[in-house]
Structure 1
Amino acid sequence: MNLTFTADTGATRTIISDRIYNKIDPKKRPELRKTVCLTGAGGTRLKEYGKANFNIILGDISLTREIIVAEIEDDALLGIDILQNDEGGPADLLLSRGVILFQGKEIP
């Protein structure tokens, strides 16, 4: 499934919306486990459904990461857990070019 991740440097965790999660074939979607409470912008609590390991592709890079499923407006938020703390080192947001430099590769 193709979806757009919004890079969110204020999000400590990467999140996909429950709408997107529910579009995944039930036979293929990962089973959710309990999560800790997340707070959104302005301190509001997010309605969370759980967390699971998801396979994601960012440009040419394939990753398996723990992602939280929650009720959010965006399809998905790419949080600091991946942007800053990935094994390949922190990503660089190149706003002047509209790309993220991640693991040495440009992602539009």
Structure 2
Amino acid sequence: MANLTVINTSAVPAYVRGALSRWMLEPAPGLYVGTLSAKVREELWAVVSASVSDGAAVLVYPADTEQRFAIQTAGTWRREVVDFEGLALVALNQLEEDNETATS
């Protein structure tokens, strides 16, 4: 069964954006939304996560969890997804916080 899938990208190569736009809509730059089967979602994510290099990407899709979704990330993000007793929470990267404090 196909389900709503969201992928957000930052600084990924043009061919990755092209691959995503074949299967999903791009309502805002770097934001892709579509109704995909699990197989297509997994194949697209494999391409995206292998190709981010200096960029980053986040995948959000329906899952059988308390929150009813799962999150996967690739590349370097300022935020980190942390599992807290079965809930996906987002925490700021400690190194980024230290750098921001030092430059303020």
TM over 0.5: no
- TM class by smaller structure: under 0.3
Pick the structure with more strand per residue: 2
TM-score, normalisation: structure 2: 0.24
Higher helix residue share: 2
Which structure has more RCO (C-alpha within 8 Å, separation ≥ 6)? 1
Q: TM-score, normalised by structure 1?
A: 0.24
